[in-house]
Structure 1
């Protein structure tokens, strides 16, 4: 860990930004994986070569609801973190 302490401030900022980007990518991958898994289970009863119109509609609505829910939870969590940090 001594290598991190030898970094300049700009290098530390750059490293932090790289870590934030990697976390954002990991979170997006996790979101996509969970959304795909849950919507597939909910909407596709008999997997086949193509999706029929009702499956397409179900998938679309499921993904929209999942994204809306995820965004709401993310905003609420972020707001709570900000409130907690302002109390410190």
Structure 2
């Protein structure tokens, strides 16, 4: 880690942004994986070559609810962090 302390502030900023982007991509991949798994298990009783209309509707609604829930939790968590940081 001593190599990081030798970086200029611009380079540290670039490194931090790259790490943030990598974390965001990893979070998006995890969200997609969890959503796919949960919605597949909930909506698909007999896997086949095609989804019937009820399975398509179930998957669509499940994904919408999952994303809405994720966004609500993310906003609530972010707001709480901001409140906690403002108390410091």
TM-score category by the smaller chain?
over 0.9
Deviations 1:38-63 (A, max 9, x none): 00000000000000000000000000
Q: Which runs of 5+ in 2 are unaligned?
A: none
* TM-score (normalised: structure 1): 0.99
The count of corresponding residues between Structure 1 and Structure 2 is 88
* TM-score (normalised: structure 2): 0.99
Structure 2 counterparts to residues 1-88 of structure 1, below 5 A? 1-88=1-88
Give 1:2 shift. 0.8
Superposed structure 1 runs of 4+ greater than 3 Å apart: none
Distance 1:24 1:73 in 2: 16
CA RMSD, 1 decimal? 0.3
Give 1:19 shift. 0.4
Distance 2:27 2:37 in 1: 15
